[in-house]
Amino acid sequence: MRRDAQHVLLVLVGGVLVKIVLDGSYLRYVRAWSAAPVLAAGVVLITVALIALARDLRRPTAPPSGEDDHDHDHGPDARAGPAAWLMVLPVLALLLVVPPALGSAALRDTGARTAPAAAAPADEPLPPGDAPPLGLLDVVSRTAADPHGTITERDVTVTGFLVPAARTPPPGATGLDVARLVISCCAADASAVRLHLADPADLLAGVAPGGAEGDRWVAIRGRVVAGTGTPADGHVPTLSVIGWSPVAAPVPVYEY
């Protein structure tokens, strides 16, 4: 690869980084706080590449007469190895393919994530209001801390996508779970949190997980069944469904 081609490729890589920050698609791959570092990296790549390209355009293509041409191989005609072309792949992926955020396909053959110790304690008051919205990780962590706590005494609303139950569901559960992916830094470390769904009013009759068309995102109002979400059931609480509605995929799509 010629040096000028290297510079152009760096401009493209930097431009892609800037693009995914400006259009918000970076949230498919990293956390929201990463916007500034990713944007800065893109701007630096573009700036360095443009400065180097301008410098090479001003540089003579041949050494002056009588001088040793030892340095000639490091001029504009110097070439990088074939591996440099591998940088084209992420550019094409982000420009042409636009990889989606991880979803239910990432949960195949995986269980639920154990509630982290840093999550909300069981005695932290629930948000005010009727059926306040809670993250699935919040529900899991509260029940792990106290499976008979305040989380089991009020209705809550959770948002996630429907998936088949990861293990044999407890009595009264439907065989459907509502799930969400949690990331610490980026999509590479994603893991799943789930809630089993109990449906005493048969509100989910005929409802199935998403298929080839994509994930089925839902907002579910319900109440956590006391005594669930313990080590005995793999920290997967059971939510008794009171109502539900289809929703669009949230932004950001992951929980933190």
Binned at pLDDT 50, 70 and 90, residue 161 comes out as very high
In angstroms, the CA 182 to CA 70 distance is: 55
| CATH tag, 105-246 | 2.40.50
Q: What are 86-145's pLDDT values in tens digits?
A: 767 777 777 777 778 888 888 865 544 544 544 555 567 889 989 999 999 999 999 988
Specify whether the backbone of 227 is left (phi greater than 0), alpha (psi in -120 to 50) or beta: left
The yes-or-no verdict on residue 71 having pLDDT over 60 is: no
Q: Where are the domains of the chain?
A: 3-99, 105-246
Q: Is 182 helix (H, G, I), strand (E, B) or coil?
A: strand
Quick count: other Cβ atoms within 10 Å of Cβ 39?
17
Q: Is a pLDDT exceeding 50 seen at residue 76?
A: no
Instruction: State the average pLDDT for the chain.
Output: 82
